[in-house]
């Protein structure tokens, strides 16, 4: 049984807006040549998208039941292929468009067969191939086939069946000619009854979207996981739908919309985007060719808005979400004070970092949006890292813009890390250009640091001005009493560095240990790749952090540059002075070394978390 419930989110809102835009269209008329169809409410209108992993998005009259009519033909064709094989089915029914009306009395006389299974003659030929010794067995085989696609039992509207049977003289004429030409054999009335029965199966727009999604999913029903059609025959069904599924509008449909589809005179259309989704739309008003006016308009809009035409440049990819982490386990490279680390331990989960990968098109972005929305339920900040995305199309731009609007309405902030945006579609680049400049970063660490600063600023119990120029409040000297601090102050020398000045230079001898009292600096590593020198930021330090501390441990040369990002005030301590000048208080140096070891351990844990983030 199908248990998936309609989903909320940007796609549902898109469908609701599309429904509102198309609903005022009143062109066309309800089919009357089958009396029971003439009773349909012409204002009914539903649209449903079902993805290949079972998500369902609905708008309008998606639960209203109607008879499937000619939309049954692809599924019956698949049943015949699976029962008899491709070669045998082709002997009886061709795959060429007719250029004539769906109920035209025309045949492929050179091969003595109907032209294709999507017109009435071909569908009657397919009905003759349903296996079973009796009509009841064949009818049951047909309804069980439809049930596998829909993910639930289906039944036949017996009143519509009788109406079809009583008014089906044209189909009787087609069947009589086929019997005389030996295209079909056996009980002609029983074959016609099965054909009328298949057209009279009751479905909803939601059912049809799942049936279409089953074809999009290689023949496997997305919700139940049950195989409805052997995967080897799915492309046969889709190929014939693409060339013949929209009656003698099929060529224009393929040109304008570009995805396999099938329409029925009750007012429904299904469309299949292989590997991504099934689309169904229903509205009883038909154009002169027998296709629903509103359903065509809806399918056209979806295909155009999300760039679904089959002959667009293809984009491929695996899972769109590489990882989703939170700021209580993934930290920026900025060295934080004990208080700040405690804030991030407690509130870092309010930052969500989602890393995307591969190609972002409709299906992959829909899954990305869905997972991100779930992760952001209790978060304040979302950082979306697109550096591993090698392509992003129009659909991706629209879905992410809708996600941003949702989060903004909830008071949440959304940030992009995009790297080389030249890989993205023009519409996606336009989305990035239109974003608030503070919302787009080239580096994940910068975005993390920005979000962390916001969390800390909102949780800071002591004004930052009171934390500066007080050795007692610096992490390196925790555990020392007031007299100890006075002793340390006696060997401290104040230094001031303006923005851009080097506090430390890589390779210089390590004679001084600095403790930052005010301001911020970057620890930078100098690299050379193919003769090109570059400097990368590996950490950010601010008030309370020590730099050059390794000199106190091993006395070796500096291993990196430390450059002031802004005006930096710090204390400098001569390594030898710390070792010898505090001889009267021998516990001071071990306390400082213990605090230093604790800081190094914290940084090592942060480095391990960063490595795990890169490796997974």
Query: What are the boundaries of each domain within the chain?
Result: 10-305, 321-457, 464-615
Q: Of 48, 73, 220, 425, which residue is the catalytic one?
A: 73
Q: State how far the Cα of 423 lies from the Cα of 426, in Å rounded to an integer.
A: 9
Q: Of 93, 203, 265, 541, which residue is the catalytic one?
A: 265
pLDDT tens digits for range 276-306: 999 999 999 999 998 999 999 999 999 999 9
Q: Of 14, 57, 195, 249, which residue is the catalytic one?
A: 195
Look at residues 195, 216, 230 and name the one whose alpha carbon lies nearest to residue 73: 195
Q: Which CATH architecture has domain 321-457?
A: 2-Layer Sandwich (3.30)
Q: What is the pLDDT of residue 566?
A: 92
The pTM for the full model equals 0.73
Q: What is the chain's alpha carbon radius of gyration, rounded to the nearest angstrom?
A: 35
10-305 and 321-457: same fold?
no
Check residues 102 and 21 and name the one with the higher pLDDT: 21
Q: Of 57, 247, 282, 571, which residue is the catalytic one?
A: 247
CA distances from residue 340 to 35, 293, 596 in whole angstroms, order as listed: 75, 61, 17
Phi, psi at 128, each rounded to 5°? -65, -15
Q: Of 48, 57, 62, 70, which residue is the catalytic one?
A: 70
Classified by CATH at the fold level, domain 464-615 comes out as Jelly Rolls (2.60.120)
Q: What is the pLDDT of residue 465?
A: 39
Query: Does the pLDDT value for residue 66 go beyond 70?
Result: yes
**164: Cα within 13 Å, side-chain hemisphere:** 24
Q: State how far the Cα of 23 lies from the Cα of 281, in Å rounded to an integer.
A: 12
Is 70 annotated as catalytic? yes
Question: Is residue 95 a contact partner of residue 116, using CB atoms and an 8 Å limit?
Answer: yes
Is 316 annotated as catalytic? no
The mean predicted confidence, pLDDT, of the chain is 87
Look at residues 480, 463, 460, 462 and name the one whose alpha carbon lies nearest to residue 471: 480
Q: What is the pLDDT of residue 159?
A: 93
Superfamily holding 10-305: DD-peptidase/beta-lactamase superfamily (3.40.710.10)
pLDDT tens digits for range 475-489: 778 888 888 888 888
Q: Which residues pair with 600 in a beta bridge?
A: none
Question: Is residue 547 a contact partner of residue 516, using CB atoms and an 8 Å limit?
Answer: yes
Q: State how far the Cα of 18 lies from the Cα of 171, in Å rounded to an integer.
A: 37
Is 265 annotated as catalytic? yes
Query: Does the pLDDT value for residue 237 go beyond 80?
Result: yes
258 contacts: CB under 8 Å, gap ≥ 6: 303, 308, 309, 310, 311, 312
């Amino acid at each position: 049984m199908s248990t998936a419930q309609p989903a909320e989110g940007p796609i549902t809102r898109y469908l609701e807006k599309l429904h509102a835009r198309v609903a005022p269209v009143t062109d066309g008329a309800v089919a009357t040549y089958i009396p029971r169809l003439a009773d349909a409410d012409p204002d009914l209108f539903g649209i449903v998208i079902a993805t290949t992993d079972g998500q369902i998005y609905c708008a309008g009259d998606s639960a209203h039941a109607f008879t499937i009519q000619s939309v049954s033909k692809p599924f019956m064709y698949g049943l015949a292929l699976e029962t008899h094989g491709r070669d045998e089915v082709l002997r009886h029914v061709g795959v060429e468009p007719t250029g004539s009306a769906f109920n035209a009395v025309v045949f492929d006389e050179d091969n003595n067969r109907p032209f294709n299974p999507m017109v009435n003659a071909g569908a009657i030929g397919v009905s003759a191939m349903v296996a079973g010794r009796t009509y009841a067995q064949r009818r049951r085989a047909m309804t069980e086939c439809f049930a596998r696609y829909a993910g639930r039992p289906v039944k036949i509207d017996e009143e519509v069946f009788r109406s079809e049977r009583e008014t089906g003289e044209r189909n009787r004429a087609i069947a009589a000619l086929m019997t005389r030409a030996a295209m079909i054999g056996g009980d002609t009335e029983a074959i016609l009854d099965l054909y009328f029965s298949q057209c009279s199966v009751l479905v909803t727009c939601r059912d049809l979207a799942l049936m279409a999604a089953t074809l999009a999913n290689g023949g496997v029903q997305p919700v139940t996981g049950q195989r409805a059609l052997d995967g080897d025959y799915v492309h046969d069904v889709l190929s014939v739908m693409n060339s013949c599924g929209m009656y003698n509008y099929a060529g224009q449909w393929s040109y304008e919309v570009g995805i396999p589809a099938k329409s029925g005179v009750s007012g429904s259309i299904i469309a299949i985007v292989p590997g991504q989704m099934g689309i169904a739309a229903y509205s009883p008003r038909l154009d002169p060719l027998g296709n629903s006016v509103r359903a065509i308009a809806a399918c056209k809009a979806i295909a155009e808005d999300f760039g679904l035409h089959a002959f667009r440049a293809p984009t491929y990819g695996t899972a769109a979400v590489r990882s989703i982490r939170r700021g209580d386990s993934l930290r920026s490279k900025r060295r934080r004070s004990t208080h700040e680390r405690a804030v991030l331990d407690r509130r870092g989960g309010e930052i969500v970092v989602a890393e995307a990968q591969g190609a972002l098109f409709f299906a992959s972005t829909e899954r990305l949006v869905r997972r991100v929305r779930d992760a952001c339920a209790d978060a304040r900040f979302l950082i979306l890292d697109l550096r591993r995305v090698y392509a992003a199309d129009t659909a991706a731009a629209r879905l992410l813009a809708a996600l941003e609007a949702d989060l903004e309405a909830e008071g949440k902030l959304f940030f992009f890390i995009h790297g080389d945006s030249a890989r993205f579609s023009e519409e996606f680049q336009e989305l990035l250009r239109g974003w608030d400049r503070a919302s787009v970063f080239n580096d994940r660490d910068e975005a993390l640091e920005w979000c962390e600063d916001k969390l800390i600023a909102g949780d800071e119990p002591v004004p930052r001005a009171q934390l500066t120029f007080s050795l007692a409040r610096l992490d390196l000297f925790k555990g020392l009493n007031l007299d100890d601090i006075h002793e340390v102050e006696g060997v401290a020398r104040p230094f001031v560095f303006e923005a851009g000045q080097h506090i430390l230079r890589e390779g210089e001898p390590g004679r001084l240990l600095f403790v930052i009292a005010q301001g911020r600096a970057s620890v930078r590593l100098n690299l050379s790749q193919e003769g090109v020198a570059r400097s990368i930021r590996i950490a950010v330090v601010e008030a309370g952090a020590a730099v050059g501390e390794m000199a106190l441990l091993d006395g070796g040369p500096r291993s990196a540059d430390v450059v002031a990002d802004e005006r930096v005030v710090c204390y400098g301590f001569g390594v030898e002075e710390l070792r010898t000048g505090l001889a009267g208080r021998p516990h001071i140096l071990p306390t400082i070394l213990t605090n230093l070891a604790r800081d190094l351990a914290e940084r090592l844990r942060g480095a391990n978390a960063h490595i795990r983030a890169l490796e997974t």
